[in-house]
Structure 1
Amino acid sequence: MNENFMKTKPVLPLLLSMSLPMMLSMLVNSLYNIIDSFFVAKISEDAMTALSLVFPVQNFINAVSIGFGIGINAVIAICMGANEVKKAHTAATIGLFLAICHAIVLTVGSIFLMPSFLKMFTTSQSVLSLGIQYSNIAFCFTIVSMTGISFEKIFQSVGKMTVTMISMCCGCITNIILDPFMIFGLGPFPAMGIKGAALATGIGQTVTLVIYLLIFILRPLSVHIHPKYWKADKKTIGKLYAIGIPATLNMALPSLLISLLNAILAAYSEVYILVLGIYYKLQTFLYLPANGIIQGMRPVIGFNYGAKEHKRVQQIYRIVLIMNGMIMLFGTVICLVIPDRLIGLFTTNPDTIRIGQTALRIISLGFLFSTFSITASGALEGLGKGIQSLIISLCRYLLFIIPAAFILSHLFGAVGVWHAFWIAELFTAFVAIALRHAIHE
């Protein structure tokens, strides 16, 4: 098995072959999230509220899983590119072991702290009971979930994107099929309510992991995981965390941003909070293909960086920048031309549609600027430069947008928050351009 195709195949076809499977699997995953919420909402409003309150903790666990997985991915890809195969084996073995350790700590911690966490946001005994029922089952699958994500990133590091697509899609489809059966008691299944939703999610995650393990055993990768490659290599562990911790924070920052913006908008009307929520649902479908391209780029740019193919690294970066720019241009045009129809997908209230179309038109002015930040941040993660990537994300999700939103909301009301988006994207683009020299080193 040879990964040299990542430094010999023409860049555009290579990126498309690596990115398209990830875009499809992310689309299925987004569909699963929507359908899962749809079925839970059918139980009761309390069940949906409980799910919403548990979500931040689930999101944090997911951020740790994927963030550290990005660290595993980058270190393996760089080592393979440099033809340091034993170091890649060591990185994979240590990375998987540490991921399982993280999962054990998070499982115990989340189950133990969940009752106290829920009481911070609700006094309803019904919501509290439903939240604990859901979390006690869902968090028991944390080890399964985090192990599966680690294997996902290991497969991606050697270019096996189709395997990750198949595994993720099978898990999500299993979950979608089981949800109504286990929640409402269809066929041979008893009606389990919100417990059924949690169990269906866990079974879906188990299916994904089992597929990874079967393929890993039956069709071994060029990267091996074995106790003989385990050693307390401080340098490798340091690299994994140097990339993994910033990547984790990168994924956790959007949740913090939404909470802070909700606090600012709450002073005006709940309608603005609703519009912000609708925007984030809509922007998922814009940034989803862009993130698929980023995921496809990471192992390619890391492999070529390790192989000291610096001109090719620059070429990869430029092509991804153009591809993401085209996606963002499309999104800008759509939001400027038919914002009322986009908002109308989620509400029929004319006041909400009026406020929402204004928000979309203003926010969309920053989409093209965001091309620089999301592409540079993803490329820097692939090169193992986690700190530089974190700086870009901090600027984009915290340092620029929150002060701008606070000041402009006092000057222009809630509409000032919408202007803060494109202003933050503009200034973050300058930061990303300033940091891009790290990509050309």
Structure 2
Amino acid sequence: MNKKVDLLKGHIFTSLTELAFPIMISALIQMAYNLTDMAWIGIAGAPAVAAVGAGGMYVWLSQGVVALAKMGGQVKVAHALGGDRKEEAAVYASGALQLGLLFSVLFGALCVFGAKPLIGFFGLSDRLIMENARAYLRITCGLIVFSFMNVILTGILTAMGDSRTPLKANTIGMVLNMILDPFLIFGAGPVKGFGVSGAAAATVIAQAVVTLVFLNAVRKDRLVFDKVRLIKKVPADYMKSMIRIGFPASVQNLIYTSISMIITRFVAEFGDTAVAVLRVGGQIESISWMTADGFAGAINSFVGQNYGAKQYTRVKKGYFTAAAVMFFWGLFCTFLLIAFPKQIFGLFIHEADVIPMGVRYLVILGVSQMFMCVELTTVGALSGLGKTLLSSVISIVFTSARIPLAMFLGSTALGLDGIWWAFSISSILKGILFFLCFIIVSRRLDGYQEKFFL
């Protein structure tokens, strides 16, 4: 069976869902991957969760760094393949992988040698929590190369219409992580567990295996990867083109994570336990945003290839189909978070005094899930057109608004709940604005002018 989906012909819903379904399953697997970590760490108690939450913020930040290579490579590979330029696609793939390797070395070194001030930023009060957070940071980010390679390879394969290989690789990684987590965190028999450091080690080992699975798969490819040359210099104009596409998306992700880190510091003022609630709540909420982000990867490749082939009507229909699917998925997630918050949160945090805080988090964030899903889907579509700057400007402006909004609402009688409402309100506004933005952009596609696309 052919792993690659033809995105240029056939029924739009069928083509889109055939590509998107494995990506969504991969996203759910990644979610299970993260929740498995959280479930085992939760058994160790809220302080351990807080340590993973602080150290994990820099893992999240790293995704903004690799987004430049991933987004630039995915979009340009899709454009090249849409125009039947396979050699060009391979050059872009080579450049994306080279950038990813460089960024992983630089980011890893920063986290290993700068762990103390990086964790100190959050203002945590417990010495053991800070030590565990630094250990988690050094392990997960010091070996971030595997995560970076997996992200970039996923992007390139998705641009090629192959979403099944990432699904297979991530499934293997999740199963391995589930096996390693309890053993490395708590130990077994005479083997002593490593606690938070064990959770970090389990994650890195699983990611390394995922990378090996990817490499084994792509060495058999005869469309793009057989022409990829990692040690060959990529022409400057190719690199500039990828950076032009990927830089806004990277800045957007970095700023978004930085804003979340600043707000995490606000949250820490309500106690270290509040940081644990933020960490667990965010992981639970990932049931919607990780799935939507996965679907956004599919619509990115769909739009990118059809834009490259100048099939603009198909671009529009593909987007509206994807937006509708994700809106209803968001509604389903809203129902889960509002109807069963205590049951869901109680799976990960077991202290009775912490659970009510987590319940309020899930209910408040549950209000905005469908809007967040539409936002992420639209970002994927606009990025497929190469219009990453517009997406970044909108996202940065409205996500930045969370800081003053959180400061204001957090100082009212709402307290910590005010910070959660700042998250939810901004997501609702972004979802509406992004949808309206694509409608405006789509009306001008048929009369496309190069200068219009930022």
Query: Shared fold by TM > 0.5?
Result: yes
Map 1:154-233 onto structure 2 (within 5 A).
154-186=156-188, 191-227=193-229, 230-233=232-235
Task: Tell me which residue corresponds to 2:250.
Answer: 248
Task: Tell me which residue corresponds to 1:53.
Answer: 54
Offset of 1:385 from its aligned partner?
1.5
Pick from 290, 293, 297: which aligns with 2:292? 290
- Greater mean alpha carbon deviation, residues 319-328 or residues 32-41: 32-41
Task: Tell me which residue corresponds to 2:322.
Answer: 320
Task: Tell me which residue corresponds to 1:234.
Answer: 236
Offset of 1:287 from its aligned partner?
2.5
Task: Tell me which residue corresponds to 2:305.
Answer: 303
- Greater mean alpha carbon deviation, residues 90-99 or residues 348-357: 348-357
Aligned residues: 440
User: How far apart, CA to CA, are the structure 1 residues paired with 2:53 and 2:60?
Assistant: 11
User: How far apart, CA to CA, are the structure 2 residues paired with 1:363 and 1:45?
Assistant: 21
Offset of 1:192 from its aligned partner?
4.9
Determine if the alignment matches structure 1 residue 82 to structure 2 residue 83. yes
User: How far apart, CA to CA, are the structure 1 residues paired with 2:354 and 2:112?
Assistant: 38
Per-residue CA deviation, residues 385-421 of structure 1 (Å, 9 max, x unaligned), is: 211111232134223x333444455566435555545
CA 151–277 in structure 1, closer or farther in 2 if over 3 Å, else same: closer
Task: Tell me which residue corresponds to 1:14.
Answer: 15
Offset of 1:282 from its aligned partner?
3.5
- Greater mean alpha carbon deviation, residues 237-246 or residues 261-270: 261-270
Offset of 1:44 from its aligned partner?
7.4
User: How far apart, CA to CA, are the structure 2 residues paired with 1:357 and 1:130?
Assistant: 26
User: How far apart, CA to CA, are the structure 1 residues paired with 2:52 and 2:356?
Assistant: 30
Offset of 1:285 from its aligned partner?
1.5
Contact 1:339 1:360 in 2 (8 A): yes
- Greater mean alpha carbon deviation, residues 125-134 or residues 85-94: 125-134
User: How far apart, CA to CA, are the structure 2 residues paired with 1:421 and 1:150?
Assistant: 29
CA 406–25 in structure 1, closer or farther in 2 if over 3 Å, else same: same
CA 61–192 in structure 1, closer or farther in 2 if over 3 Å, else same: same
User: How far apart, CA to CA, are the structure 2 residues paired with 1:22 and 1:73?
Assistant: 14
Task: Tell me which residue corresponds to 2:93.
Answer: 92
Contact 2:87 2:224 in 1 (8 A): no
Pick from 392, 395, 410: which aligns with 2:394? 392
Task: Tell me which residue corresponds to 2:149.
Answer: 147
Gap runs ≥5 in structure 2:
446-454
- Greater mean alpha carbon deviation, residues 148-157 or residues 410-419: 410-419
Contact 1:363 1:418 in 2 (8 A): yes
Contact 2:124 2:268 in 1 (8 A): no
Offset of 1:308 from its aligned partner?
0.6
CA 277–303 in structure 1, closer or farther in 2 if over 3 Å, else same: same
CA 277–223 in structure 1, closer or farther in 2 if over 3 Å, else same: closer
User: How far apart, CA to CA, are the structure 2 residues paired with 1:39 and 1:351?
Assistant: 19
Instruction: Please tell me the residue identity of whatever aligns with 1:435.
Output: C
Contact 2:69 2:242 in 1 (8 A): yes
User: How far apart, CA to CA, are the structure 2 residues paired with 1:117 and 1:42?
Assistant: 26
Contact 1:90 1:231 in 2 (8 A): no
Task: Tell me which residue corresponds to 1:331.
Answer: 333
User: How far apart, CA to CA, are the structure 1 residues paired with 2:410 and 2:211?
Assistant: 46
Map 1:398-417 onto structure 2 (within 5 A).
398-399=400-401, 401-409=402-410, 413-414=414-415, 416-417=418-419
Offset of 1:327 from its aligned partner?
1.6
Per-residue CA deviation, residues 202-234 of structure 1 (Å, 9 max, x unaligned), is: 221121111111111234333544339944433
Gap runs ≥5 in structure 1:
none
- Greater mean alpha carbon deviation, residues 219-228 or residues 18-27: 219-228
Per-residue CA deviation, residues 184-217 of structure 1 (Å, 9 max, x unaligned), is: 4447977555544333322211211111111112
- Greater mean alpha carbon deviation, residues 301-310 or residues 253-262: 253-262
Where 1:218 maps in the other structure, the secondary structure is coil
Offset of 1:122 from its aligned partner?
5.5
Task: Tell me which residue corresponds to 1:114.
Answer: 115
User: How far apart, CA to CA, are the structure 2 residues paired with 1:185 and 1:346?
Assistant: 20
Task: Tell me which residue corresponds to 1:72.
Answer: 73
Offset of 1:57 from its aligned partner?
2.0
Offset of 1:183 from its aligned partner?
4.0
User: How far apart, CA to CA, are the structure 1 residues paired with 2:75 and 2:223?
Assistant: 16
Instruction: Please tell me the residue identity of whatever aligns with 1:107.
Output: G
CA 42–276 in structure 1, closer or farther in 2 if over 3 Å, else same: closer
Instruction: Please tell me the residue identity of whatever aligns with 2:107.
Output: L
Instruction: Please tell me the residue identity of whatever aligns with 1:35.
Output: T
Task: Tell me which residue corresponds to 1:438.
Answer: 441
Contact 2:368 2:428 in 1 (8 A): yes
CA 50–344 in structure 1, closer or farther in 2 if over 3 Å, else same: closer
User: How far apart, CA to CA, are the structure 2 residues paired with 1:423 and 1:94?
Assistant: 39
User: How far apart, CA to CA, are the structure 2 residues paired with 1:94 and 1:337?
Assistant: 47
TM-score, normalised by the number of residues in structure 1? 0.84
Contact 2:87 2:227 in 1 (8 A): no
Determine if the alignment matches structure 1 residue 382 to structure 2 residue 381. no
User: How far apart, CA to CA, are the structure 1 residues paired with 2:205 and 2:428?
Assistant: 43
Offset of 1:37 from its aligned partner?
3.5
Determine if the alignment matches structure 1 residue 29 to structure 2 residue 30. yes
